[in-house]
Amino acid sequence: MPEVLTYLERLREIALDQHGFVTAAQAVAEGIPKTELPKLAARERIERVAHGVYRVPQVPTTPYDNWALAVLWTGAPEACLSHETALAAWDVTDVNPNRIHVTINRARRLRRTGGEQYAIHHRDLHPSQRTWWQAIPITNLPTTIADCIETGTPTHLVRQAIERGGRTSLLPAADRDPLTRLLEERDGGA
């Protein structure tokens, strides 16, 4: 006899891979009626944390929950951490971003409330520019550094990222020189 899973068990299965979060769209894709989510929230089985995003409390919290939530909050399947947030995640600088940076496609427009703590960037990323970090989609280090150069991250932090990243496999030698040149061009050849 096949095992029958409850709605909550099915939501928990999704949430286990997403820092405890599940979107309404993901629930519906799993065959859970959208009307069940508010009912589960009213019974305090799940918690509504943002527009279309719920937290399953049975999944332990992690230090990266806010970053995972930011990506899911967009509702965009292509969304990923980027810019200074990605730089902080890659741990190659002393950057301390005051907002969570997320990149979505150029054509996508967000009409959601609750994103005041997020900096949303619009860019069409090639799949090779995206990767995963702590089960969260993120721009790879070369793309992250290029984005930070373009948006004006302080020079000393970008240099630090190039230097520290260059000592790892995250920033291949073929990417270091072009990024250094890009930074010098931004700073007027300094």
pLDDT tens, per residue, the chain with 190 residues: 455 579 999 999 999 999 999 999 999 999 999 999 999 999 999 999 999 999 999 999 999 999 999 999 999 999 999 999 999 999 999 999 999 999 999 999 888 888 899 999 999 999 999 999 999 999 999 999 999 999 999 999 999 999 999 999 999 999 999 999 999 999 986 5
What's the longest Cα–Cα distance across the chain?
71
What is residue 180's predicted lDDT score, i.e. its pLDDT? 96
What is residue 175's predicted lDDT score, i.e. its pLDDT? 96
Tell me which residue of 90, 102, 80 sits closest to 171, measured CA to CA.
Answer: 90
What is residue 189's predicted lDDT score, i.e. its pLDDT? 65
141-151 vs 155-166: helix crossing angle, rounded to 10: 170
Structure token digits, residue 189: 């050849």
What is residue 112's predicted lDDT score, i.e. its pLDDT? 81
Give the number of residues written for the chain.
Answer: 190
What is residue 5's predicted lDDT score, i.e. its pLDDT? 73
Q: Strands, DSSP E only, in 123-161? A: 130-133, 136-139
> Model-level pTM?
0.92
CB within 8 A of 5, min separation 6: which ones? 13
Tell me which residue of 32, 149, 174, 43 sits closest to 139, measured CA to CA.
Answer: 149
The helix (run of H) or strand (run of E) holding residue 29 is: helix 24-29
What is residue 115's predicted lDDT score, i.e. its pLDDT? 84
What is residue 113's predicted lDDT score, i.e. its pLDDT? 81
User: Do residues 73 and 49 make contact, with C-beta atoms less than 8 angstroms apart?
Assistant: no
